[in-house]
Amino acid sequence: MHTITTLDDNWMGQRRSIATALLESDGHRAIVDPGPGSTLEALRRELRARGVGVSDLDAILLTHIHLDHAGATGALVKENPQVAVYVHKVGAPHMIDPSKLLASAARLWPDSLQELFGEAVPVPGGNLRILEGGETIALGPRKIDVAYTPGHASHHVSYFDNLDGVAFVGDTTGIRIEEHSYVMPATPPPDIDLEIWDSSFKTILEHKPKRLFLTHFGFLENPAAHVAQFRERLHRWMETTEKILQTAKSDTEAMASFMDTMHAEIAQHLPPEEVEQYIRTAGLNLSFLGLARHARKRAQAAP
């Protein structure tokens, strides 16, 4: 039996915000992006509903180490000390010692870090399998190719499954909740780099996936059309940010202008009850901070 199942981590009590993928293949089981520590019980419940326990997992595949994707990893390893954790080499030290990751996150969410993301338990180094891109992971008859896909984060990889033709792309192709056509960027500081990101789009499409699996949220058909739409929007958001920074009198005014502009755009495409979910899932205010940081770096580098 070869299956890929979407597990809904029910983040902050909200359906279809953070997805974990469960891969099963002839008795071999792995998950991609276990989500934050705050959704551990929901993840366990979703696994149990499919007859799987944490102790049954052979591997945890991390697209990157942001807390909404990887925060639960250490707790799962504590529960199943045999599980292998695949992570890019840049992110690996922060899985062993998450103190810098948590300090960085605390600056972005000073009042709500624990509520949003829960605990981030350290992962023993012996459980880590270090990736650079170019590796192939075997899960029974299922083979998964690894590609380095930075742009959103310097420690981002994507996974390409040979049996079902699914690419697990984390945040590299944005946020688009199943059943909706609108895709929006998630561009938190500090690693956003649009030029590098463009090369990651090329990398993904060169693998010719049949479908994409987005951590936010679920399966998408027609990868080439989706990537083209997302790339256009990402670059347009960057241009909008640069214009706002040129005219705003303060950072506070720039942030407010960005939030108003993007809220209006999102509301054109989605039913009212979905607008806030997209904004919350993406962290729209953080997207401004990441784009603004990249805009200023580009301006400084310009001749």
**DSSP characters over 212-241:** EEETTTEEEE-HHHHHHHHHHHHHHHHHHH
Residue 212 and residue 260 share a domain: no
**Amino acid type, 287:** S
Per-residue pLDDT at 70: 98
End position of a domain, from candidates 198, 225, 252: 225
Question: What CATH number has the domain bearing residue 167?
Answer: 3.60.15.10
Domain tally, the chain: 2
Nearest residue to 175 via CA among 121, 224, 218: 218
Per-residue pLDDT at 108: 86
Residue 273 and residue 171 share a domain: no
How far, in Å, CA of 181 to CA of 163, rounded? 26
End position of a domain, from candidates 191, 225, 259: 225
Instruction: Name residues of the chain where pLDDT drops below 70.
Output: none
Structural domain span for residue 82: 2-225
Residue 186 and residue 162 share a domain: yes
End position of a domain, from candidates 225, 248, 281: 225
Residue 249 and residue 134 share a domain: no
Sign of CA dihedral 101, 104, 108, 112: positive
Q: How many residues does the chain have?
A: 303
How far does CA 6 lie from the centroid of its chain?
Answer: 15
Tell if the pTM clears 0.85, that is, is over it. Answer: yes
Per-residue pLDDT at 88: 98
Per-residue pLDDT at 179: 82
Residue 188 and residue 43 share a domain: yes
